[in-house]
Structure 1
Amino acid sequence: MIGKFIKKTLAKIWAKNHVRKSQDFKSNALEDQQDLLLDLVKTAEKTLFGREHQFENIKTIENFQKQVSVSDYEDLKSYIERTKRGQANILWPGNPEYFAKTSGTTSGSKYIPISKEGMPFQTDAAKSMLFHYINQKNNADFVTGKMIFLQGSPKLQEEFGIKTGRLSGIVAHHIPNYLQKNRLPSFKTNEIEDWEKKVDQIVLETENENMTLISGIPPWLIMYFEKLIERNGKKIKDLFPNLQLIITGGVNYEPYREKMENLLGGKVDILQTFPASEGFFAFQDDYKKEGLLLQTNHGIFYEFIPLEEYGKENATRLTLKDIELNKDYALILTTNSGLWAYSIGDVVRFISKKPYRILVSGRTKHFTSAFGEHVIAFEVEEAIKATVLKNPSQITEFHLAPQVTPETGKLPFHEWFIEFEKEPENLDLFRKTLDTEMRQRNSYYDDLISGNILQPLKIVNLQKNAFHDYAKSEGKLGGQNKIPRLANDRKIADFLEKFGK
């Protein structure tokens, strides 16, 4: 008992000191960002990339933007291939400490380099998030219980002489020692590749433990919770009465909130994060308010391209001093692992400048614009959230795709594939409300409906486990895999429509 009291007391002291020190980076973001970029350029001056792009002549942000074009994985792939063949000093001095292996759509597997300088920031951001939470809550009870991180296998392969694996598996090797003995599941269970078998085993290992913190992306948290409830016949808070905190990321939590609250059956604090193989960019520093605190002193220089200009030649590249609130930007990164003006594919929206807080509003490649409407994830997620409030229901998951070739004589339309946990009393009223909410959020969509170019949206009510079966068919069950909520084609829609009720 005394040991637990000391642990909680120390955690609160550390948290208070950390939050006090963090005020500097919150106040000095603009200066920190400029200094960081020039430091990154100076450090990589003698690398192959640095020599080819004349880093020795870069003295300002404007110099950098002139010398270094916006890139994606394909643009940097030749440099990464050289690194994989054992060549050093290509994108960053020396060799990467790790390759985070991710599944790409056009490039096959991607190998994202993580340097020895970049790795600490992955775990430091998570630690900072917990310290902010403890300090705000003035409560560190969760540090004395068991914690679970639903993640990929921590078993790393050595490819090209460099340790390689999923990011969550890499991070598992850098969990602080003082958390290790509280951490579940076992290493052996975490190594299970089959996600369904893995979750079954995690249920067995955790159902009788004092769980106080649980982390994972929402769809897989839901799977874990449902299996626990099925085995024990109890809601999660009845099973884990001391569960205090859930940490989630990867996708917007809001569409899952109602279902999660139903499964939990009691109050649990939620913290949202924005991590990726390329870096840990932001976290919710105030658990009572929306918005993620941008990490401006964590080895990453940020640029922002207005979404309407993204992909165009000579698109405007803004820095923090230029951004506007409530406007969507493609996120561009320069990192201390050797990614230079790299487009990660995420879209962000600032809701605060003091300090800089963002929402993740979508993906540059995940949108619906078959008719020029350019609907993005933030719009559909907010629309469906409002619709559920007006038409009580619970949604497991959804996907939106255009139907450009409807029945002869009919107008095209947006087709929503929705898997309900609890259906609304009147599905047609739900549909009409959703269409109205979408029209209010996207003026182009509204114009297309008003102009009789599109007919109002239609809903396909899906059978239970439709999205689970789709993910399984694509080999994307578990880990950090998530299903796009928006598409400009019907690849996912064609699979899902056979599950319509």
Structure 2
Amino acid sequence: MSLKSFGAKIFASYIRKKIDKWASQPEATQQKVFRELIEKGKNTKFGQDHDFKNIKTYKDFTQKVPIRDYEELRFYVDKMVAGEVDVLWPGKPLYYAKTSGTTSGAKYIPLTKDSMPAHINAARNAILCYIDETGNAKFVDGKMIFLQGSPEMDEKNGVKLGRLSGIVAHYVPAYLQKNRMPSWKTNCIEDWETKVDAIVEETIHEDMSVISGIPSWVQMYFERLQQKTGKKVGELFPNFNLFIYGGVHYEPYRAKFENLIGRRVASIELYPASEGFFAFQDKQNEKGMLLQLDSGMFYEFIRSDEFFEENPKRLTIGDVEKGVNYVIIVSTNAGLWGYNMGDTIQFTSLKPYRVIVSGRIKHYISAFGEHVIGKEVEEAMQEAMRSTKARISEFTVAPQITPENDELPYHEWFIEFEEEPENMDEFHRILEKTLQEQNSYYFDLIEGKILQPLKITTIPRGGFNHYMKSIGKLGGQFKLARLSNDRKIAEVLEENLRKYNK
């Protein structure tokens, strides 16, 4: 055992004890965070506008601070980006994480001196929890790759801005710098396909032990490795035994990954976002990720089926239940207050609090009141693949509200298969059956002949990458929406299919 791996085990045990301490006192931990946030924010412009000096209780907070999304908070963000100080948080931010916006173009999410450590420590702690649980620290001596955005940054009025993954690249600990790949020069390549090819060249002869990134883009890296060498990834990298991912669920990709690798490897799921690093998988055999209650973020939750009501009930950590779909609301030490980031979560455990990401409040299908969410379509896909031994590269689902020839409406599944099922009818049957079992509204609409069963449209190999490239979102920080309530994605895919079939 190397000195580095021995030290990692000792440090892992220490960190696990610290985590267990705050995780065993969830409500007290969140109350402490709440008080600290209000105290720190009371002299900012936002704090003065919302009478923070008279906020003594959570009830006071809910009466003075409404739920807002980025567009509704933009008045304050624009002042901050223009160079004003003490707007949402004392002083100026350290960085802005630039993300894709909806109606406003680019969004600028602040990262502060207070919030930045949580982004770094959570990723580190996820690995340390894995080491403490499994005793496996050997991988720290091998090479590690983090597929991420360019670390090069621009500047706005004295504050640097860039993609979150690129910002975080500046904080890789010194003891990992020697092991970290790709090189800085390669990491700065903007074009994703060029970058992946360069990463392949740099890593192909290295002893890779940890690989990290959004599954869909790591998949592209693995495919390029296999195309170049004709070998399985696990054969190229015999010591590769840990895959770290976030952004999307791994399960729909697992079968294809195991085929590309040639074996199963351990994995750790993360829940990072520009707004905060919210959770990470702390146990290999427990479903869900440990919610970070002690990281400068105060959480509120609103049931997703009540979210669009006029005054939905706001809940704190002590009020939540397992298995309920909640919109997650955060107030943070980066200066976000009552902020709706658009994600929905479900609790898988309350002792300690573990969550899964179930989807996006805006990414669902409810053209007829069915309210199908991301978790449901992903679990249906997993069951269909498991039962038929099919493998997929990617998929998305959209409603077809006005089909031709007086047909009933339906959900259309666009699927790019890595390996098609031997019996497509059986694959379709299981997909439909599993979705109906999970969603009673969908079941009732099928039974009542309001909807007809789903239809599958097969996308040719590389079709989704082509789609992402066509909209300027091919790369490690972008992910495809699993669900849409309209046909914007579907129409582009259909147009590409028409061109392909000519």
- Shorter-chain TM-score: what band? over 0.9
CA positional deviation for 1:39: 1.2
Tell whether the 8 Å contact from 1:463 to 1:499 is kept in structure 2 after alignment: no
Tell whether the 8 Å contact from 2:95 to 2:112 is kept in structure 1 after alignment: yes
> Which deviations, in whole Å up to 9, do the C-alpha atoms of 1:198-225 show, x marking residues without a partner?
0000000000000011100000000000
Letter in 2 for 1:195: W
CA distance in 1, matches of 2:223, 2:496: 21
Q: What residue number does 1:347 align with?
A: 344
Q: What residue number does 2:204 align with?
A: 207
CA positional deviation for 1:408: 2.6
Gaps of 5+ in 1: none
CA distance in 2, matches of 1:77, 1:168: 23
Q: What residue number does 2:181 align with?
A: 184
Gaps of 5+ in 2: none
CA positional deviation for 1:498: 4.0
Tell whether the 8 Å contact from 1:325 to 1:349 is kept in structure 2 after alignment: yes
Tell whether the 8 Å contact from 1:215 to 1:246 is kept in structure 2 after alignment: yes
CA positional deviation for 1:499: 5.0
Q: What residue number does 1:168 align with?
A: 165
User: What pairs up with 1:264-343 in 2 under 5 angstroms?
Assistant: 264-343=261-340
Q: What residue number does 2:239 align with?
A: 242
CA distance in 2, matches of 1:85, 1:381: 42
Tell whether the 8 Å contact from 1:275 to 1:281 is kept in structure 2 after alignment: yes
CA distance in 1, matches of 2:18, 2:421: 49
Tell whether the 8 Å contact from 1:101 to 1:112 is kept in structure 2 after alignment: yes
1:145 aligns with 2:142: yes
CA distance in 2, matches of 1:248, 1:47: 36
1:392 aligns with 2:389: yes
Tell whether the 8 Å contact from 2:287 to 2:348 is kept in structure 1 after alignment: no
Q: What residue number does 2:223 align with?
A: 226
User: What pairs up with 1:458-477 in 2 under 5 angstroms?
Assistant: 458-477=455-474
CA distance in 1, matches of 2:242, 2:385: 25
SS in 1 for 2:412: strand
TM-score w.r.t. length of structure 2: 0.98
CA distance in 1, matches of 2:97, 2:486: 29
Q: What residue number does 1:486 align with?
A: 483
1:78 aligns with 2:63: no
Q: What residue number does 2:93 align with?
A: 96
Letter in 2 for 1:182: N
SS in 1 for 2:259: helix
The percent identity for this pair of structures is 53
> Which deviations, in whole Å up to 9, do the C-alpha atoms of 1:392-419 show, x marking residues without a partner?
2001111111111111321111111111
CA distance in 2, matches of 1:169, 1:354: 34
CA positional deviation for 1:311: 2.6
2:65 to 47, 65, 68: 68
Tell whether the 8 Å contact from 1:417 to 1:497 is kept in structure 2 after alignment: no
SS in 2 for 1:309: coil
CA distance in 2, matches of 1:146, 1:126: 17
SS in 2 for 1:387: helix
CA distance in 1, matches of 2:430, 2:212: 33
Letter in 1 for 2:247: G
User: What pairs up with 1:383-462 in 2 under 5 angstroms?
Assistant: 383-462=380-459
1:57 aligns with 2:23: no
Give the number of aligned pairs.
498
2:364 to 364, 367, 377: 367
SS in 2 for 1:400: strand
SS in 2 for 1:464: coil
Tell whether the 8 Å contact from 1:460 to 1:497 is kept in structure 2 after alignment: no
SS in 1 for 2:341: strand
Tell whether the 8 Å contact from 1:361 to 1:376 is kept in structure 2 after alignment: yes
Letter in 1 for 2:275: E
CA distance in 2, matches of 1:139, 1:462: 40
CA distance in 2, matches of 1:375, 1:483: 17
> Which deviations, in whole Å up to 9, do the C-alpha atoms of 1:224-276 show, x marking residues without a partner?
00000110111011000001211000011111111111111123111111000
Tell whether the 8 Å contact from 1:99 to 1:113 is kept in structure 2 after alignment: yes
1:124 to 101, 107, 121: 121
CA distance in 2, matches of 1:499, 1:99: 35
SS in 2 for 1:308: coil
CA distance in 2, matches of 1:320, 1:6: 41
CA distance in 2, matches of 1:436, 1:276: 33
CA distance in 1, matches of 2:385, 2:288: 22
SS in 1 for 2:2: helix
Q: What residue number does 1:25 align with?
A: 22
Q: What residue number does 1:261 align with?
A: 258
CA distance in 1, matches of 2:386, 2:476: 30
> Which deviations, in whole Å up to 9, do the C-alpha atoms of 1:44-77 show, x marking residues without a partner?
1111000010000101111111110001101111
CA positional deviation for 1:287: 2.0
> Which deviations, in whole Å up to 9, do the C-alpha atoms of 1:427-486 show, x marking residues without a partner?
122112211111111111111110011111110011111100100001000122001010
1:16 to 8, 13, 17: 13
Letter in 2 for 1:223: M
CA distance in 1, matches of 2:239, 2:69: 44
CA distance in 2, matches of 1:361, 1:409: 34
Tell whether the 8 Å contact from 1:207 to 1:239 is kept in structure 2 after alignment: yes
CA distance in 2, matches of 1:392, 1:341: 44
Letter in 2 for 1:151: Q
SS in 2 for 1:32: helix
1:154 aligns with 2:144: no
SS in 1 for 2:305: helix
CA distance in 2, matches of 1:322, 1:217: 32
TM-score w.r.t. length of structure 1: 0.98
Tell whether the 8 Å contact from 1:113 to 1:337 is kept in structure 2 after alignment: yes
Letter in 2 for 1:29: P
- Which segment drifts farther, 425-434 or 82-91? 425-434
